[in-house]
Structure 1
Amino acid sequence: MNQSAYYNPNFYTPVLPAGWVEYKAPTGQPYWYNTLTRQSTWTFPVQAVSPQSQQQEQPKEKKKKQIKKKIPGTHWLFVLTHDGYEFYYDRETKTSVWEMPKELEEPMKELERLEKEEKEQKEEESKKRKLEQEQKEEEETKKIKMEQEEKEEEEVNEEKKEEGKAEPTEMTEEDIMWQLEQMEEEPEEQTEEQPEEQPKEIKQEKVNEISEEERIRQFYELLKERNISPFAVYSTEYPKLMSDPRFELVPNNKQKTLFNKYCHELGEKLKNEQRNKKKPEEEFRELLESKVTEKMYFDDFRRKCKDDPRFKVIPSTREREALFKDYVKHHLSKKKKDPVGGYMMLLRETKEIRPGIRWRDAKKILEKDERYHAIESKLEREDLFRDYLETLQ
């Protein structure tokens, strides 16, 4: 056994803590007496931990902040001190009272009701945020799959784009103008290039019964049905058209002239449409403005709007997401940078807000504006309203 663990005066004389005195019993065994507590012990007293060291070991409790609340419809403040005491402060007379004045009974009930509503609202928002977070996490797990779908969709779009390169809608305004210039410079082909004999499915006398205007209209209708391009060549398209009775309605010597005229007019029309057509970014921006909310994620936006033509004008998923984030960051966030300033501006702009108007009446007018909802606290909305009314008096 380790004897040094016990007190033995033959080995050393330890220092007694303050207030302790050593005595010896008749048997010679030492004991110790505390002059402050008047207690004795056979065990050698240990130095007590000072309150100062205890404070160093234990973290200091933070002092609670004093809370001030405006009592609705009055010029009183309800104050809760950091020690838990409550009192009432009159802002007009600059006086405080411990007991609640009788006139404040109803306003205090209203304050409690508003605080309860605000608490419930915050709990609801907290639940909503939690749900949104869960949805976001769920969406993250699907993101790889969705990106794969987007990639496949882009590949299909690229294939379609390659197939439709000859279609006029895929060409720029410069391409159309160049092609039209080339067509104007192209020399007239000799009529002997046409087959000498053409099928006569409609008798000449029957053709003569149709007006020239109607024959040309049907001829153009045929070209439209066959999707004749503005850059089509008459000799190439002729074999595809000759078997249709409407083609024979026009005399042989006018067929090519009307064909070229149709192509030229169609090219001019497409050129004008191209000039007046909105840029893809502008169309996509219109979609963002009409559908996106501040708490919406890109995946939600994509799922909701993927079938909208304005969504498809931007083929790249990365570019869509970049435009989406830029819109949310630089446009929606501006509305929330200074909610109080926006709310006060709303009060100043609303002509119905004048001295004597009741809060419940003003609220019905103001709640139609988004700047009203930018102030989340119902109590703060009313306080700012009343502060503004004071400036009008």
Structure 2
Amino acid sequence: MLKSTHKAPPPLPAGWTEHRAPTGHLYYYNSSTKQSTYTRPQNAVPEPVAPPPAISQPTYTPETLPPFSSTPYGPAGFGPGSAHSDPSQSTRGRGGFRGGRGYHDKGRRGPEDRPKKKHAIPNCGPWLLIQTKLGRRFVHNPETNESFWKFPEDVLKGVTEFDRLEREKKERRERGEPEEPPKEQSPKPQTAPGDLNATAEQGEEARERAYDDDEYEEVEVTDSEGEEGQPSKRTRTESVGAEDQPLEFTEEDMEYQLAAMGEDYGLDPGEYGEVAEEDWEEGAEGLPLTEADAEALFRDLLDDYQINPFTPWENIIEEGRIIEDTRYTAPANMKARREIFANWTRDRIQLVREQKAKQQKADPRIKYLEFLQEHATPKLYWPEFKRKYRKEPEMKDTQLGDKDREKFYRDHISRLKQPESTRKADLSTLLKSVPLDLLHRSSSLEALPTAIITDIRYIGLAPKVRDPLIEAYLSTLPPAPEVQRSAEEIEELDRKRAEREKREKALADREKRVEEEKRRQRGDLLRGKHLLREGEAEVEEAMRVNKDGLRSYMEVDETRNEEQKQSQ
């Protein structure tokens, strides 16, 4: 039989007990020192640990932000505006009744950022500069209970001055110069009425020193500690009073603050709330966009991007060039886009075939060179090639002599034996030799000039290598030069340009209406979330019963009993 090699762990020291957290981890708790740890204690006398303060500083989470604050999370009220937290809430996790996540989601949470230090900003009271655990900074106003990641202009100068003082202090420390000793905070003396001004100045200095020295620390607390009435997980080394309560925002305040933020960031009215109907300009809904306009816009898109009509639709979508254009959304859905593309390719292919037929009829070399590119090979001599393909129409064309066909064949075979780099250079030389009026940026691969497609250098490369080179060269060319047009042609061009501008304006108006509707929906969603958080906060406040609340209930019951005895 196999003998187990498992060794039982040594017994726990006196006062320590073993527990299992909801996450499955084992932790150990000392009831005498109120200390908890994940490391198994050894048989040694544990050093007594002072219990943490009973007052915790709540922090803002994404669920407990002030209404429409510009900071994702920050301290929930510094200085006099902070309130005492209820120790009984420590077992709810950090989300509590506000929809947050508890211990069971701890493994899925990312790193959380929390305020760590706060500093008074020079000449910008009562603004404070808050530094978080992750090194980020924001400013906080304890009087208005506002926090901003983006520093206001009047506060930015003070923050710049504070950074300068910190840099000088760091440089003195690096040079080894002694730093200015911090002023000790003396206990509050008994003052006479005549010394009120001096006392007020001392109190202001003491509060500034308290802000500078205040830090947040991590305290590891388990669920069992929360049941025994221990403070919550986040505590402060020094607590402050709770004379003032946080400001209460009404719906009018929220709308005003949201409008002010929208103006600061240059947003349209529809982005931070609904706009009254009387505020809309007449005709602001724009021009209607019909199905014919949508089809014409999509066709213009395909023409402008010079899409190859022989390319499958799936390859065009996978390439993704046309998707970023706003005209891509003119058709209602993907089925409509595919149908428009099919009709467009059918028309373009028909047009290309007609142009090629005209070119081939005017110059028989075009058709013969295409035939050579497809069938010519260095393995066949000219007599063998001629005998093998003697029945093909290209070999029977009387417009091209037999000597010319033989010359083209021998030149093409000798060029195929050259390196590909040489053939690419020859093609580049050919493209540069064509004048701008024949080859320009608007030219396409399907309608190249005759001077190019009748040259032996054009068929010296395979189409998969040649076409990308030509497209890259066309993209570097300037537009076609202006040519003399007749009055009818100018009138037709102006008419097409006006129709296209009208379609594009209708599309822009539709996009604007859609964007405004999205902004209004986002505003409704934000307001709904805020109202929901307010309701959850009211429910949480109603369910919170601490010692003061129990004492008040007991006093009410005693008063009622005394009244009943007196009435009897």
Q: Structure 2 length normalisation: TM-score?
A: 0.22
In terms of Rg, which structure is larger? Answer: 1
TM-score w.r.t. length of structure 1: 0.28
